[in-house]
Structure 1
Amino acid sequence: MPGTVLLLAASPVGRGRLVDAASVLPVLAAVPPAVLSGTDTATVVELVDPLEPQAVLTRLRAAAAAPGPLTVFLAGQLQLDRRQRLPHLALARTAPATVRYTALPWHWLREELRLRPDGTTTVLADLHADPEVWAQLRQRPLDTGRNIAVYGRIAPPPPRRTVAAPSYMKAVATLLRSGHRPPPDRLHQQALARLADEGGAGGDLVLTAQPPGAGAPYPATAASFHPDRHTATAGGAPAGWQLPQPPVASDPLAATAEGVPAGWHTPQAPVTVSPLAATADGVPAPRRAPRPAGSDDPHAAIAECVRGGRHGDADVLAARWEQAAVRAHGTASEEALHWAEVRADLAMFAGDAARSCRAWLTVATTRLALGQSPGTPEVEAAVDRAHHQWGQLGDPARARELGAELAELRGRVPGRRQGALDHVRRQLTQLRTHG
């Protein structure tokens, strides 16, 4: 089966640049696409110092939707959103004060890749961290999801007025230029060995993660680099390593839509089914949900139904899993909420905006009732998605009914863009006047 390769090299222009990420592209571009992908043929998508996070997200979504193996080569720098303390991949226009608006949130990348079938997605990453991200990584490793194979390194900030080189990725590219592509884990070790021979990577954090069934029980592990060993506990995680925080939903806010008042951007419909379940203490669950349907991967089966246009079958299957999660863990459990979110997205795919909006409103209300704060990414994402689906309603009566609930929620959960509540109120006024 043909493969897909995404080459993404990004770093700010100007004084904020920590690494010359784009310098690796000529070396990678010299590698045949089939070698980059490890398949007979492959499509290569190249992004060099992109300007807008939404443009990157669009390309990422297209790559994630492609059938067959996907390999992502990622070179760049991580910077922290100082308000929400979330890591972002810096882009060409990113500055410390504008990270939230000009950089790509790391969880966007993770969320777009997480529903791909296990064993089909590999990320090779060469990242440099700014001082704030570097300090946070010591306590909170970078979460890459449970179904993605990730190899690479995160380097500490270089000395002031120094621009580092993506040495790990250059080592990977040099190895691949031989025309031979070893398995990713072996390629990773060979690149680290080459880097060690050159005297680099002494203080790096090494990323090594494999999907369940491939030997890794949790998302990406990070350990101090040693040329010949990884310091690890008996459980397979590096000494001092802490379990990642629960996965967060991607920010679905997107570009303008016709008829939307100036200053407000309508949330864009998500293209993937909802976030992974997590246990109550925030540790990713070792299983996704009870399995009443006899499927090893219900998400893959549901996605196949959606691709085939069998939306009713997809919802029936998801409903069975939701009922099993409610019986096993309770209505307000993360397992049950996960399947409620899946069904909300399935309603969107089926074109039932009212059902999708109602489901997202219920998820958001439930999470708030559980004590989750209005700024929690999962809460914000649920309200944003409800807002988007509300904007798709063609029945004025239904729009008025759901709009009243949405306005109440928007008062509590304003989201990341200014003007959301005002937009709902204006639309409701128009509905009441002309509806």
Structure 2
Amino acid sequence: MVITGEDSGSGTALLLAAAPVGKGRLVDAASVLPALAAVPPSVLTGTSAPTVVELADPVDAQTVLTRIRTAAATPGPLALYLAGQLHLDHKQHRLHLALARTTPATLRYTALPWHWLAGELQKRRPGTTTAVVDLVADTDAWQQLHHDGLTLGHGIRLYGRLAPPPPRRSTITPAYLKACTDVWRSGTRPPLAQLHEHAATQAGPGDALLLAADDTPTTVATPQQQAPIPPRPTAHPAAPDAGGDPHPAILAAARAGRHREAAAIAATWESEALRTYGPGSQQAIHWLEVRADLARLAGDTPRSCELWMEAATARLDRQQQTTNNPDVEAAVDRAHHQWEHLPDPDRARALAPALITLRRRVPGRQRAALRLLQQRFEQLHTR
């Protein structure tokens, strides 16, 4: 949808940068707006007939809500680019996006409740909304988000960075969004998942990152620990012996460098999913994708490429050959990305025909992807 190609219809981009004026400011949110505004509007929306709405340090939550509601009601894709800071309401324990006049004492009356934003976006058709965020959380909000993650609801793609509070009396810059704009202004149009990885790296060490997700709460990790394990399916397979949610244990093992242990846990759950739900089920495909990303984290690029191709094929079969499904496109994009980083030319030549076949079925949003893949394959044969 966004930044990966151009649709023929209309689309809307909402640029929202907000932070309190004065000592309560944790992020210089509005500093990223000039760079975002310099990006071609068609890139921000992914459409040929774009509309861009910009809100810089707004002061009234109702005004912001009205703009969001209007943007959410427009036809075509909607892209939300959001820079700001999150605070926790101690009475209702709900997240709020701080606005220009927000103070700790007036949070509930001067900030935008996060669930207002999510509620308006939830009225849209699933798969038509993308949010790219660069946020910093205060201490209380950070503790909650670190435990529960962040979401905008089902069917909304969410990418970006969530940073912990900076040292006292200092502010941070929206480095994640700035990295995105630098790429777009250079003329490059990478798939969103690939751009996310680049921007996450450029955001700098010590920052916490939001893992790319479609509709589930994201997991927080430092750049060195980042492990974008695919979103969890709605229903989990029956738990093997010890039970519970295995994702934290898998992530912990991967972060600690215990890659064999992480892969073994995932393989166990995949086997259970196959027995319970059968090959080609959403649950089985989920665990296949988890293993694909664990292979990437372990530095086994060829295996990661193979598993992502297998996942893409399984999703194609499950979707009855629907090639424009975001999950299918994401799987092919990730396989392609891993293939481009294969260190062994012989292995790259061996995997290329299957990847080219997938690319012909799923061209993706980057129009030149298939052509570039074929060109590199031809170059490998000349070495």
CA–CA distance in 1 between the matches of 2:40 and 2:113? 30
Distance 1:37 1:117, change over 3 A: same
1:70 aligns with 2:81: no
* Equivalent residue number for residue 106 of structure 1: 114
Identify which of 211, 214, 220 aligns with 1:223: 220
Amino acid at match of 2:181: A
Q: Shift in Å at residue 147 of structure 1? A: 1.2
Amino acid at match of 2:248: A
Q: Shift in Å at residue 194 of structure 1? A: 2.5
**Which of 1 and 2 has higher RCO (CA within 8 Å, sep 6+)?**
2
Q: Shift in Å at residue 40 of structure 1? A: 1.3
1:31 aligns with 2:28: no
Q: Shift in Å at residue 210 of structure 1? A: 1.2
Q: Shift in Å at residue 235 of structure 1? A: 5.4
* Equivalent residue number for residue 16 of structure 2: 8
Identify which of 125, 129, 143 aligns with 1:135: 143
**Cα contact 1:151–1:208 (8 A) shared by 2:** yes
Q: Shift in Å at residue 232 of structure 1? A: 4.7
* Equivalent residue number for residue 134 of structure 2: 126
CA–CA distance in 2 between the matches of 1:161 and 1:241? 37
Distance 1:229 1:164, change over 3 A: closer
* Equivalent residue number for residue 160 of structure 1: 168
1:208 aligns with 2:217: no
CA–CA distance in 2 between the matches of 1:227 and 1:192? 10
Larger radius of gyration: 1
Q: Shift in Å at residue 143 of structure 1? A: 2.8
**Cα contact 2:151–2:158 (8 A) shared by 1:** no
* Equivalent residue number for residue 65 of structure 2: 57
* Equivalent residue number for residue 146 of structure 1: 154
CA–CA distance in 1 between the matches of 2:137 and 2:249? 20
**Cα contact 1:37–1:71 (8 A) shared by 2:** yes
String of CA shifts for 1:335-394, please: whole Å, max 9, x gaps. Answer: xxxxxxxxxxxxxxxxxxxxxxxxxxxxxxxxxxxxxxxxxxxxxxxxxxxxxxxxxxxx
1:239 aligns with 2:248: yes
String of CA shifts for 1:113-169, please: whole Å, max 9, x gaps. Answer: 012112110000000000110111122222320110000011000000101111111
* Equivalent residue number for residue 85 of structure 1: 93
Distance 1:189 1:13, change over 3 A: same
Identity among equivalent positions (%) equals 54
| Bigger fraction of residues in helix | 2
CA–CA distance in 1 between the matches of 2:78 and 2:41? 12
**Cα contact 2:175–2:202 (8 A) shared by 1:** no
String of CA shifts for 1:226-258, please: whole Å, max 9, x gaps. Answer: 35850759958852699xxxxxxxxxxxxxxxx
SS at match of 1:2: strand
- TM-score (norm: length of structure 1): 0.51
Structure 1 residues 5-404: aligned runs within 5 Å: 5-195=13-203, 200-211=204-215, 219-227=216-224, 229-230=226-227, 232=229, 239=248
Aligned residues: 233
Gaps of 5+ in 1: 212-218, 243-285, 287-295, 297-435
CA–CA distance in 1 between the matches of 2:93 and 2:222? 25
SS at match of 2:35: helix
**Cα contact 1:36–1:181 (8 A) shared by 2:** no
Distance 1:161 1:241, change over 3 A: farther
Runs of 4+ in 1 over 4 A off after TM superposition: 231-238
